[in-house]
Amino acid sequence: MIKAIIFDLDGVIVDTARFHFLAWKKLAQEMGIPFNEHDNERLKGVSRMQSLDILLGLGKVKLAKDRREALATRKNEWFVDYVESMKPGDVYRGVPELIVALKKGKYKIGLASSSKNAPRVVQLLGIEKKFDTIVDGSMIIDTKPDPEIFLLTAQRLNVDPSACVVFEDAEAGVEAAKRAGMKCVGVGSAVQLGKADLVIAKTADFQLELLNKW
């Protein structure tokens, strides 16, 4: 029986996935590395430094640690600039209603984001109180596709992993959820998210009745 719903943040609750892409794209352009939305799929859900390493790998660029750290900081500054313009109305349409309906159904609600900016994003959106627990990138050692973040979220919700459903827009996130022994709803395209138990185009498309069947 499903007892908890765990949401990813970027690309599931709000369109910050776009901001991550724009910031990485700017860095790639500066460095002369070809980078498009298809390449960006590999960066979704993974940590900032791992994302940078994937980007540098695309350009076959090798750099010392301090230089890589400086580039990651630069990307983050651009990302934070985009984020600071966000307001409560930017939450994806239908998501607040979905959370209200889930709470009515007595499901526990968690947020599990690899982003260290997640606390600031939820604060700007005014949604921090909607979650029974929030786990972000600063609280884990291994990011998605490792299951650590989802297992920690389930533990904090005091729910067995097998009773959790994860909403994810990243291939790495779907893999992490499945490795955690959870059900997974992919939000986006079945091309990238085919390993999920169900793929929907938008978070708000989810039909609650399905939870009784899982």
41 touches Mg ion (CB under 5 A): no
| Of positions 13, 72, 170, 172, contacts Mg ion by CB under 5 A | 170
> How many CB atoms lie under 10 A from the CB of residue 160?
14
DSSP assignment, residue 87? -
Query: What are 178's two structure tokens?
Result: 């499945």
Which option in ligand G6P, Mg ion, none does residue 162 bind, with CB closer than 5 to 8 A by kind? none
Do 172 and 43 touch, CB atoms closer than 8 A?
no
Nearer to Mg ion, 146 or 169 (CB): 169
Given the residues 8, 132, 136, 169, select the one marked as catalytic. 8
For residue 6, the minimal CB distance to ligand G6P (Å) is 14
Query: What are 50's two structure tokens?
Result: 């791992």
Which option in ligand G6P, Mg ion, none does residue 178 bind, with CB closer than 5 to 8 A by kind? none
Helix (H) or strand (E) holding 188: none
Query: Cβ contacts of residue 38 below 8 Å, gap of 6+?
Result: none
Active site includes 10?
A: yes
For residue 200, the minimal CB distance to ligand G6P (Å) is 18
| Of positions 8, 41, 132, 148, contacts Mg ion by CB under 5 A | 8
Footprint of ligand G6P (CB under 6 A): 10, 17, 20, 43-48, 51, 76, 113-117, 137, 170
Do 116 and 134 touch, CB atoms closer than 8 A?
no
Nearer to ligand G6P, 2 or 193 (CB): 193
| Of positions 146, 169, 171, 175, contacts Mg ion by CB under 5 A | 169
By three-state DSSP, how is residue 5 classified?
A: strand
Nearer to Mg ion, 32 or 76 (CB): 76
> How many CB atoms lie under 10 A from the CB of residue 140?
19
Which option in Mg ion, ligand G6P, none does residue 51 bind, with CB closer than 5 to 8 A by kind? ligand G6P
Give the whole-angstrom CA distance, residue 118 versus residue 46. Answer: 13
Which option in ligand G6P, Mg ion, none does residue 116 bind, with CB closer than 5 to 8 A by kind? ligand G6P
As to burial, measured by CB atoms within 10 angstroms (0-12 exposed, 13-18 middle, 19+ buried), residue 58 is middle
Q: Which residues are catalytic?
A: 8, 10
